[in-house]
Amino acid sequence: MMTVNEVSKLTGVSIRALQYYDKIGLLHPAEYTEAGYRLYDDTALERLQQILLFRELEFSLKEIQSILQSPDFDRDRALDQQICLLTLKKEHIENLITFARGLKQVGGMNMDFSAFDTAKMDEYATKAKEKWQHTNAYQEYTQKNKGRSKDAEEALARGVMLIFSDFGKCKDGDPALPEAQALVKRLQAYISENYYQCTPEILQTLGAMYGAGGEFTENIDKAGGEGTAKFVERAISIYCK
C-alpha cells in the first residue's frame, strides 16, 4: 500500500488532483486508514495509469470516468492509441528541435512555420476519442448518468454490490442452479435499468472482466467473499449459453 503522498511523488500527479479524483469517483483509494488517510494498491495505480493515458489523448475527466466504467473499455486498444499518439508527438518534437537548431546555425529569420503544425496529431486524438464515444453503450451510459449526483452514483454502485453479496451466499454451490441463474438475471436487469442495455454479449464481456483479476475481482470478492467473482463469471457464462 502507498500513501497519497507517495503516489504523488511516484506519478507526478498532485495530491490535490488525487483527492479530487477520489471526490468525483474517478479513482478511489484501495482503503482508508482509521485516521482517514488514503491508501493505494497496485490495482488503483493501474487505473491511474489508464486515466493518465486518456489525459494524453485530451479526454475530459468526465469522459474518462464514463469510458473506464463502460463494458466497451479495452485496455489494449487504449494502449495502442497511446503509443500512436506518443509517436506523433515524438515526431513533432523532433521537427521542432531540428527547426530550432537550424535557426541557431543560420541566424536571421525563417518564415517556415510547418514545424509548429499539430494538425496530424490533433486529428488522430479526435478520431481516437470518437471511437470510444460512438459506441451505443457509451452513449447510453452518458445519457443516463447525466445530472446524477455523487450520492446517487454511490447508491447505484452499492446496489450492484448487494447483488454480488447475494452471489457470495451461494458461491459454494453450482452456478447452474436456479438461485445463481436468477441472480444473473437480476444483475443484467439492474445494469440495463441504471447504466446501459446489457445485452447477452455485453453481459458475457462483463463476466470475463469480473473474473479476470484486478479491481473488478477484488471489489466483488470484498462484497461476497473470496471466490465470488469467479463464481459470477461461471454463472454468467452458463446463463448466456
The residue segments making up the domain with residue 96 are 58-145
Q: State how many domains the chain has.
A: 3
Q: Cell triple for residue 225?
A: 467473499
Distance CA 65, CA 150 (A): 13
For the segment 19-62, what is each residue's pLDDT rounded down to a tens digit?
999 888 888 888 888 888 899 998 899 889 989 988 887 788 88
pTM exceeds 0.85, yes or no: no
Res. 231: pLDDT tops 70: yes
What mean pLDDT comes out for the span 63-71? 77
Q: Which of residues 56, 81, 101 is at a domain's end?
A: 56
Closest by Cα among 15, 93, 89, 12 to 52? 12
Q: Cell triple for residue 224?
A: 461476497
Q: Cell triple for residue 239?
A: 446463463
Band the pLDDT of 164: cuts 50, 70, 90: very high
Distance CA 62, CA 55 (A): 11
Same domain, 81 and 38: no
Q: Which of residues 145, 175, 207 is at a domain's end?
A: 145
Q: How many CA atoms lie within 13 A of 15 on its CB side?
A: 9
Phi, psi of 32 (to 5 degrees): -120, 145
